[in-house]
Amino acid sequence: MHALRWPVVLFDLDGTVLDTVELIRASHAHAVREVLGVELPDEELMAGIGTPLREQMEVFSAERADELFHVYRAWNHANTARLIERYPGVDEVLLELEAEGARLGIVTSKMLDAVELAFAALPPPIVWDVVITTEDTPLHKPHPAPLIAALERLEGTPAESVYVGDSPFDLQAARAAGMAGIGVTWGAFGRAALEAEEPLVVVDTPAELLEALAG
Ligand SMILES: [Mg+2]
């Protein structure tokens, strides 16, 4: 890598930087089984991934969303260290970007305590310049507010920034914020769902991501 196409690179966390896809799927399955007594297909369990947890629970049951939320979180937190994984090659991309002087941020719909648990289980290879969680803004992805909040902290502009994520909500938020979006296919969503959002590019490997981020 010889130059950075964007000096500010923001990343989604779940399914992009860390492999929490099985953790999330199993947490959802546990919550709807315990609270609602149902088994839902993975596609239904995973449809809202990338939006705040409380909103996803509203979709499963408006009346029992609070209970689902608490049962999900208790199981998820108890099983984070066991089920969370790194994606091979992603840490190397982060280290390369840091070495090139990029300002780097996480913009996630996760709550801060869950982010801290994830980072305790798998310590980041770099120092993140900003971490935006669901508590930081009243509105969430696909709304651009969390991305705008990250740029304010970093004193960056949309034009000099890119957002990398695995969900259509990430790419919608990037477009709404006026910044470039890059979709990655190693997370919870497939290529077709990402391409439908017409991002700058959709990549299949960390090596392709690094190529897309190079000037
Ligand atoms: Mg994600």
Instruction: Quick: pLDDT tens for 52-102.
Output: 999 999 999 999 999 999 999 999 999 999 999 999 999 999 999 999 999
Architecture per CATH, domain 8-19+85-213, reads as 3-Layer(aba) Sandwich (3.40)
CA of 188 to the centre of ligand 1 (A): 7
- Please report the pLDDT score of residue 2 as a whole number: 63
Instruction: Quick: pLDDT tens for 162-205.
Output: 999 999 999 999 999 999 999 999 999 999 999 999 999 999 99
- Please report the pLDDT score of residue 6 as a whole number: 97
pTM of the complete model beyond 0.85: yes
168 in Cβ contact with 185 (< 8 Å): no
- Please report the pLDDT score of residue 18 as a whole number: 98
CA of 49 to the centre of ligand 1 (A): 7
> Annotated catalytic, 91?
no
- Domain map of the chain by residue range? 8-19+85-213, 21-83
- Give the span between the Cα atoms of 169 and 158, in whole angstroms: 17
CATH 1.10.10 fits 21-83, yes or no: no
Angle formed at CA 113 by CA 39 and CA 82, multiple of 5 degrees: 55
Average pLDDT over residues 26-37: 98
Angle formed at CA 189 by CA 115 and CA 176, multiple of 5 degrees: 75
CA of 141 to the centre of ligand 1 (A): 10
Which is catalytic among the residues 12, 19, 129, 170?
Answer: 12
- Please report the pLDDT score of residue 1 as a whole number: 63
